[in-house]
Amino acid sequence: MSSFALGATFCRQLLAGFKVFRSTGRNLSLLEYQSKQLLDECGVSIQKFRVLAAKNDAGRLSDFQVPEYVVKAQILAGGRGKGHFDNGFKGGVHITRKSDEAVSLADKMLGQKLITKQTPKEGILVRKVMVAKSVDIVRETYLCILMDRDHNGPVLIASPAGGMDIEAVAEETPEKIKTVPIDITKGITRDQSSAVADFLEFRGALKEKAAQEIEKLWQLFLKVDAVQIEINPLAETSEGEVISVDAKLNFDDNAQFRQKRIFDMEEETEADAQEVEAAKNNLNYISMDGNIGCLVNGAGLAMATMDIIKLNGGNPANFLDVGGGVKEDQVLKAFQILLSDTKVKAILVNVFGGIVNCATIANGVVNASKAIDLKVPVVVRLAGTNAEEARNIIVSSGLNLIPATDLDDAATKAVFRGYCVRMARSSSPPRFNNYEEDPVFQNVNFTQDISEQMRVPKSIKATGEYFDERDILPGSANLNSWNYSEKIDMTVPDRIVVIGQEQHHVLGSGTRSAPREILLENSIMSKGDTGQVRVSTPPRTISLAEHYFPTASEADDSPRHDVDEDFGSTEAHGDGNRASARHPKYSSHAAELVISH
């Protein structure tokens, strides 16, 4: 999800019905100090501040003397105050009364990674620290202006319970949330701003100041083509001021052509590298948490593709819309971006050719596969303009590209192959690791389908050309050879029950006594003298001098019985003949086991 979508999600939860909408584009986000610079330019009341970008930069604070300093690490993530750095330093927000101590605190943050609930596990590198004048806050409120689809335009959201987890306010005390649709042609009127200031519980002269601040924020919203301005808190101070203490601004990428100065402020080191690379190639990309890479044309189809992947037990690794005018070189770039995500274990290409030519996509996929040397399976579903020609291109490519008949078929194949790749690359296969949490095994349709298709075979037939082990194994003159040109029928038992120690019982109609491997073992090793197999050091060689292996037809001549008498049972068949587990041929050919050290 884009940085804008992350920042705006909680605001949108406050709207009627608490519906959440995700942005399908990458939106510019600025650091806190950059947002405050823009607020200051529009006359919005803010704290005075300085920015430190290097250690031991005391000169930046030489002309900035205030009663109390607040030192804040600058990253695009919330929860900084409760975060910690990879060097062990606690907290990304600190307060001090001494300027030299403010510099010292900044030095401990700069060049270190800050880890919060909203950052990746490894944290985000801090390159700048804001040192601002600390304000004595009497009361905190919340204010946000953002574009909303439900209202077909901008809305203002306000709450007197600011400076805290606003999602919790919306859930626990929804009466403290006020939503005001804004007429884009009229803007925020004085009546609206006064009503909001009153709802925020500003009284007396502060009510007028708050109303003015709200109107200035609206003007900023229009001026910079913002999609969201969030002020938390909009604070009342002990000095009788109304100040925007913390600000987050997000901008519409479509306005980049007229907001060049603002977009040049972007810290690309803070942004998602894959999203930045995609934007340079006119691709809409948003990183997610799954392992199925998606390449789709059209935002709606991309969302539907992610949904059906989820329905089939998988998780999409991204949103990627290549657009309607995609070219082959963009397909290659899209593949490169997808594969730069190490979580991707399979790629699903889903294209409906309306404007775009399916053959263009197919050629792009084939050429990209050749150029990149793909190591993950690629499932391709193409429909629409020149779909049949595109399918022939995929099939005749000779590459490991998997065609799909429809979207459901494509999703099923992608999820299954992605899971197989994950199992193959895992040192501890997921089948035996966190089985209960695995979405594939927990998907009822998936497991039921596999169970219905898998059957235990009634028989196994081994076929092959004749060869002699003596021809391929040096020094194996004493080994017997089987004629593999003849089919060997092997009956699969219903079940095998190991009773204990050397008492083996094979159950099932038509089965033999003990398996041949067990009979062979017992004919070689005496049960009474275990010393023959106990060695102090591993032997260098073990050779079997002579042993007789009966053929399948010879074995058929042996007496049938259920239990081997040598294995501790005296049960016989209905014919009254006691079964002898050891066939005469076994006893007539002694085996000599030679262990050499």
For residue 411, count other CB atoms closer than 10 A to its CB. Answer: 28
Task: Please tell me whether residues 333 and 257 are part of one structural domain.
Answer: no
Place of tokens 């919060």: 116
**Residue 535 resides in a domain:** no
What are the pLDDT digits (tens) for 222-272? 999 999 999 999 999 999 999 999 888 989 888 989 999 998 887 766 666
**Residue 23 resides in a domain:** no
- What is the rounded distance in angstroms from the CA atom of residue 440 to the CA atom of residue 423? 12
- What is the rounded distance in angstroms from the CA atom of residue 148 to the CA atom of residue 145? 9
Q: Is the Cβ–Cβ distance between 356 and 325 less than 8 Å?
A: yes
pLDDT of residue 49: 95
Tell me the whole-structure pTM to 2 decimals: 0.54
Task: Please tell me whether residues 286 and 336 are part of one structural domain.
Answer: yes
Task: Please tell me whether residues 100 and 143 are part of one structural domain.
Answer: no
Q: Is the Cβ–Cβ distance between 186 and 215 less than 8 Å?
A: no
- Is 142 an active-site residue? yes
- Is 586 an active-site residue? no
SS (H, E, C) 339-380: HCCCCCCEEEEEEEECCCCHHHHHHHHHHHHHHHCCCCCEEE
pLDDT of 325 strictly over 70: yes
Q: What mean pLDDT comes out for the span 182-186?
A: 94
Residue 374, domain CATH: 3.40.50.261
Q: Please give the residue that has the higher pLDDT: either 48 or 498.
A: 48
Q: What mean pLDDT comes out for the span 460-482?
A: 46
Q: Please give the residue that has the higher pLDDT: either 556 or 391.
A: 391
Q: Which of 92, 110, 133 is the last residue of a domain?
A: 133
**Residue 194 resides in a domain:** yes
Q: What is the DSSP string of 8-26?
A: HHHHHTTSGGG-----SS-
Residue 158, domain CATH: 3.30.470.20
Q: Does 316 sit behind a cis peptide bond, omega within 30 degrees of 0 on the bond before it?
A: no
Task: Provide the percentage of residues in the chain whose pLDDT is more than 70.
Answer: 65
Place of tokens 């519906």: 19
**Residue 220 resides in a domain:** yes
**Residue 493 resides in a domain:** no
Task: Please tell me whether residues 277 and 253 are part of one structural domain.
Answer: no
Q: Exactly one of 142, 285, 419, 586 is catalytic; which is it?
A: 142
344: Cβ–Cβ under 8 A, 6 or more apart, which residues? 291, 292, 293, 317, 338, 376
Residue 99, domain CATH: 3.30.1490.20
Q: Exactly one of 140, 230, 236, 270 is catalytic; which is it?
A: 230
Element (H, E) at 461: strand 459-462
> Is residue 246 marked as binding?
yes
Q: What mean pLDDT comes out for the span 311-331?
A: 88
**Residue 473 resides in a domain:** no
> Is residue 232 marked as binding?
yes
Burial of 453 (0-12, 13-18, 19+ CB in 10 A): exposed
**Residue 306 resides in a domain:** yes
Task: Please tell me whether residues 67 and 188 are part of one structural domain.
Answer: no
Task: Please tell me whether residues 417 and 282 are part of one structural domain.
Answer: yes
Task: Please tell me whether residues 240 and 179 are part of one structural domain.
Answer: yes
> Is residue 290 marked as binding?
no
> Is residue 80 marked as binding?
yes
Backbone angles phi, psi at 413, to 5 degrees: -65, -40
Task: Please tell me whether residues 167 and 111 are part of one structural domain.
Answer: no
pLDDT of residue 355: 77
What are the pLDDT digits (tens) for 500-536? 444 444 444 444 455 555 555 555 555 554 444 444 4
Q: Which of 240, 261, 282 is the last residue of a domain?
A: 261
Q: Please give the residue that has the higher pLDDT: either 391 or 17.
A: 391
Q: State the total domains in the chain.
A: 3
What are the pLDDT digits (tens) for 401-412? 999 989 999 999
**Residue 235 resides in a domain:** yes
- What is the rounded distance in angstroms from the CA atom of residue 547 to the CA atom of residue 413? 49
> Is residue 512 marked as binding?
no
Dihedral angle over CA of 505, 511, 513, 515, nearest 10? -80
pLDDT-derived band at 448 (thresholds 50, 70, 90) equals low
- What is the rounded distance in angstroms from the CA atom of residue 159 to the CA atom of residue 197? 10
Q: How many angstroms from the chain centroid is the CA of residue 13?
A: 24
Task: Please tell me whether residues 128 and 251 are part of one structural domain.
Answer: no
Task: Please tell me whether residues 127 and 141 are part of one structural domain.
Answer: no
Task: Please tell me whether residues 247 and 350 are part of one structural domain.
Answer: no
Residues 110-139, buried b or exposed e (16+ Cβ, 10 A)? bebbbbbeebeeebbebbbbbbbbbbeeeb
Size (the chain), residues: 597
pLDDT of residue 581: 37
Q: Is the Cβ–Cβ distance between 499 and 493 less than 8 Å?
A: no
Task: Please tell me whether residues 416 and 378 are part of one structural domain.
Answer: yes
pLDDT-derived band at 447 (thresholds 50, 70, 90) equals low
For 54, the domain range is: 48-133
Using CA atoms, how far residue 527 sits from 288, 499, 501, 522, 567, in Å, is: 61, 17, 11, 7, 11
> Is residue 88 marked as binding?
no
> Is residue 392 marked as binding?
no
Q: Which of 376, 401, 425 is the last residue of a domain?
A: 425
